[in-house]
Homo-oligomer: A and B are copies of this chain.
Amino acid sequence: MIPAAHLYFLQFLLEEVHHISDVLSLPRFAHLDKEQARELLASARQLANQEMAPYFKAMDDTPVAYDGKGNVLTHSCLKTIIPLSAEQGWIGGNAAFEHGGMQIPEMIFGTAHHLFQMANNGVEGYLGLSSGAAGLITSFGSPEQIQTFVPKIFAGEWQGTMALTEPQAGSSLTDITTQAIPMANGEYQIKGHKIFISGGQHEACSNFIHLTLARIPGAPAGVKGISLFIVPKFRSDGNGGWEDNDVYCAGDFQKMGQRGYATTHLVFGDKDNCHGYLVGEANKGLGYMFQMMNGARISVGLCAASVAMAAYQASLQYAKERPQGRLPGEKDPARPPVLIIEHADVQRMLWTQKVIAEGSLSLGLACNKLYDQVHGSTGAEKEKYHLLLEILTPIIKTYAAEQGSRSAALAIQTLGGYGYTTDFPVQQHYRDLKIMSLYEGTTGIQSLDLLGRKMIQDKGKAFAALMEQVQADLNRASLDPRLGSAAQKMGELGLVIQDTLHQLQPYLEKGQTERFLADATVFMEMMSTWVIGWQWVCMGLAATKALDAGVPGKEAFYQGKIQALGFFVKYEIPHAFAAGQTLVHPEHFTAETNWERFD
């Protein structure tokens, strides 16, 4: 159960750290004020606690199953949760009024979804996918496509999906082979296999709208020949009815986590009777899909942060209630045991979880704010927001996924042996979390995106914009004695990042792209630690401001943020410097050609 106190923390992030007022003052959101934003989140928490949390374990205990005949059997709770969430606006509520949405800013919409992810990350997946798929149709689809598909998705009657991955291609979209053959009526015959299709089929929706990548014969090779299609499970028969569209579900992958979330294998056009509707222009599919994918990457990052947060809160609660052992100084066995939260190592585990979960969440909300700002501004402003969002997207995705897994491991460890049993939720959080480093581009791919594109494109414009933003916050922090030493250490790390990039650049200039990118993942470790450190500086700034203004009864909350910043600097930042040393180490170990050396 998400405690009411968590809403206070979200308020702190949204209002005091990330200044949601900047977003609410945009014309698009004139219909909303801060109070209404708070109310929306309060109602989202209620929905999360009342309708989603109760099924978190149950959906894991009775995983999604495939009946061998094309049907995917899911927990019956979905039949209540999906329409109820839709009714309250949590499918597509971020869409424009004109498309039937509620024009809720991403900052609020994403935060509501964060609450759902905390309560039951499997359930949230269905909602998030539908929102994303509908968003893609409203952005690039024809008015007719929008009218046909979007309202049903928003109502929760139909499920939207992303159908990208194919068995032979995996992450390499260049190699997808699903075919789209033009028909006389302007539609396309779709034929191919897609795997790992989340929400690809289940029992709670009556139709499935697959946003599908495929190739039209004669299209250019590689990613420049990929088009985007709407491929429904049931298509209009032209007479107001719906007929089977030859999309067959051939299986559901059983997974170590997110066991209540369907991960399907879909076969399109096995009977050569699968119609797809081209979205936008031919061969521009990947670009369109990247809108959804970028959103999905932030959403996966937020989900990882949310699950880590849920695990943190569960372990914190346990640590406050469980007596065990005595402090090192205490030699008298007749004295009663202390609460485990009193043990230094338990506190270390709690602080570590806190800096990871809260830091990631803060970055996720920062990304959602940038999304709102990109869409609410023009010119140089818009470009700046866009650059920041571009560079932060792989970082939120990766940091939250990788460090979130580490955080959830510490949640288990805090509970000791109990944490490993299914009597407690933390082991489920740990299992669920592991998929976040695989979804929507693995950690390796995100890291290539960061170092190989975002850091260097346009002469490093995006990094420069980020550096400027971070430096401005560090400058402010350096004026406050409570934050000064943290700001200094963060400044030093920023210089090391610049220097590292500088030392790697010659490889790029000499055309040694592979060598330049070889340790992209290590670069991601360094860079993402710096970015999360920046989020903690921002939280520190907001906390000192609040404390100075006076926050009766809430002092400890704010002091905890300043302390967490200090903890991050002491325990986490040194590893970013260590990653820097690895990156500039002259020896090169990852271009081995003799596989026997791995034996």
Contacts and interface: CB of A to CB of B under 8 A. Distances in A.
Interface of A: 5, 8-9, 165, 169-172, 174-175, 195-196, 221-223, 253-257, 263, 316, 320, 324-329, 332-334, 337, 341, 343-351, 354, 405, 409, 412-413, 416-417, 419-423, 427-428, 430-431, 434-435, 437-438, 442-444, 447-448, 452, 511, 513-514, 516-522, 556-557, 559-560, 563, 566-567, 570-571, 574-575, 577-579, 581-582, 585, 587, 589-592, 594-599
Nearest to A253: B421
A287 B413 CA distance: 26
Nearest to A347: B590
Contacts of A405: 409
Shortest 8 CB-CB contacts between residues of A and residues of B: A222-B333, A560-B597, A574-B578, A556-B596, A345-B444, A256-B427, A344-B590, A347-B590
A437 B414 CA distance: 11
Given A170-B416, A221-B332, A328-B514, 7 more contacts: A254-B422, A256-B421, A341-B595, A557-B599, A563-B589, A563-B597, A570-B585
B570 A589 contact: yes
Contact of A170 (B324, B442, B594): B324
Contacts of A578: 574-575, 577-578
A222 B597 CA distance: 53
A326 B169 contact: no
Contacts of A587: 566, 570
Given A324-B172, A328-B513, A560 B596 contact: yes
Q: Count copies of this chain in the complex.
A: 2
Contacts of A520: 344-345
Interface centre among A5, A347, A448 (most CB of B within 10 A): A347
A108 to B, nearest CB: 22
Nearest to A519: B348
A344 B582 CA distance: 15
18 contacts: A172-B337, A175-B333, A196-B417, A316-B598, A329-B511, A345-B448, A345-B520, A354-B598, A405-B409, A416-B438, A417-B438, A420-B434, A430-B434, A559-B597, A563-B597, A567-B589, A570-B585, A571-B582
A587 B486 CA distance: 12
A592 to B, nearest CB: 6
Contacts of A337: 172, 175
A333 B221 contact: yes
Contacts of A316: 598
A172 B338 CA distance: 11
A597 B5 CA distance: 12
Contacts of A596: 556-557, 560
Given A345-B444, A405-B409, A430 B598 contact: no
Contact of A437 (B169, B413, B421, B444): B413
B574 A589 contact: no
A343 to B, nearest CB: 7
B438 A420 contact: yes
A329 B514 contact: yes
A332 to B, nearest CB: 8
Contacts of A589: 347-348, 351, 563, 566-567, 570
A420 B581 contact: no
Counting chain B CB atoms within 10 Å of each CB, which of A175, A256, A329, A421 scores highest? A256
A352 to B, nearest CB: 10
A518 B346 CA distance: 10
A514 B255 contact: no
A350 B598 contact: yes
A423 B571 contact: no
Contacts of A327: 514
Contact of A590 (B345, B409, B442): B345
A346 B592 CA distance: 11
Contact of A423 (B253, B412, B442, B579): B253
Contact of A257 (B326, B420, B582): B420
Contact of A256 (B174, B420, B560): B420
A332 B563 CA distance: 52
A11 B476 CA distance: 61
Given A223-B333, A438-B417, A594 B256 contact: no
B344 A514 contact: yes
A9 to B, nearest CB: 7
